[in-house]
Amino acid sequence: MNKVEVRNLTKSFVERRMKARSPKSCNYHEKCEVLAGIDFTVKSGSFTCFLGPSGCGKSTLLQIIAGFQKTDKGRVLIDGREVSGASSRHIFVFQEDGLLPWLTARQNVAIGARHISDRRERASEEQDYIEMVGLQGFEDHYPHELSGGMRRRAEVARALITNPEILYMDEPFGALDFVTRLQMREEMLNVHAMFDSTILFITHDIDEAMQLGDQIIVMSERPSRVKADIRLDHPHPRDLSKGELAALRKEIYFLMGLHAAL
């Protein structure tokens, strides 16, 4: 069943930057088309990764699906119904630190557990989620006392404890070091196996998308369209160095305009 259906989604902004960043930039004060007829569907409970050049409109697309921004044209349907605004059943995890610095890891996770009225049950749920993301022993630490990876874990726990229908993640591990990012990748595979949430995940990391995604949507330069909509049903962990996956990986590099980096 489709959880998300995006049909001919089109969005423009008025360019507010006076100085052009590149020859392809739009002129100051002119209308600048970012998304130019985006079409795709996402299956319920699946993990969809979005790849595309910086500035092509990935964050804008996710924010429109989540109901934070409006489309100019086209439609977004969730469970067959048109999106009319943000919902507490849809949770966003951004690239930037989103923990409240004056609360401990446990208190931050507790923010996501407010819907559980029984105090004992709430405390036990909080502990479960803290352990699930491997933060036991650090519950009472404040964000500045945690590593970047631990802060991300706390944010993932805070998002998951709400039992979201859709989890939106906008380059959530982009600022982490290489090894921590790989650990978080494994964590996300566990999350995907254990939860029914539909996950929409933006990344600039092709291998990350290939390891995690049931579906990979490759977007083009702005004005952006869907360049490729790829479904993967390969079991995890995936060996990207051989066979069909290696060929697909190469194809995605090419689609992203990368020819010499492989």
Half-sphere exposure of 59 (CA within 13 A, CB side): 9
How is residue 117 written in tokens?
């009225």
Of 203, 152, 139, whose CA–CA distance to 180 is shortest? Answer: 152
216 binds, among Mg ion, ligand ADP, none (CB under 5 to 8 A by kind): none
- In this structure, what DSSP letter does residue 143 have? G
Q: Which residues contact 81 (CB under 8 A, 6 or more apart)?
A: none
For the bound state, the minimum distance from the C-beta of residue 186 to ligand ADP, rounded and expressed in Å, comes to 25
Closer residue to ligand ADP (CB): 59 or 108: 59
Residues 9-68 touching ligand ADP, rule: CB under 6 A, are 13, 16, 34, 52, 54-60
Residues 159-188 touching ligand ADP, rule: CB under 6 A, are none
253 CB neighbour count, 10 Å cutoff: 15
> Site size for ligand ADP, by CB under 6 A?
11
- Distance linking the first and last C-alpha atoms of the chain: 36
Of these, 48, 59, 104, 224, which contacts Mg ion (CB under 5 A)?
59
For the bound state, the minimum distance from the C-beta of residue 29 to ligand ADP, rounded and expressed in Å, comes to 11
Closer residue to Mg ion (CB): 134 or 174: 174
Closer residue to ligand ADP (CB): 11 or 151: 11
| Residue appearing with tokens 């962990």 | 237
| Residue appearing with tokens 């050049």 | 53
158: contact with ligand ADP by CB under 6 A:
no
**Under the rule (CB under 6 A), what is the footprint of ligand ADP?**
13, 16, 34, 52, 54-60
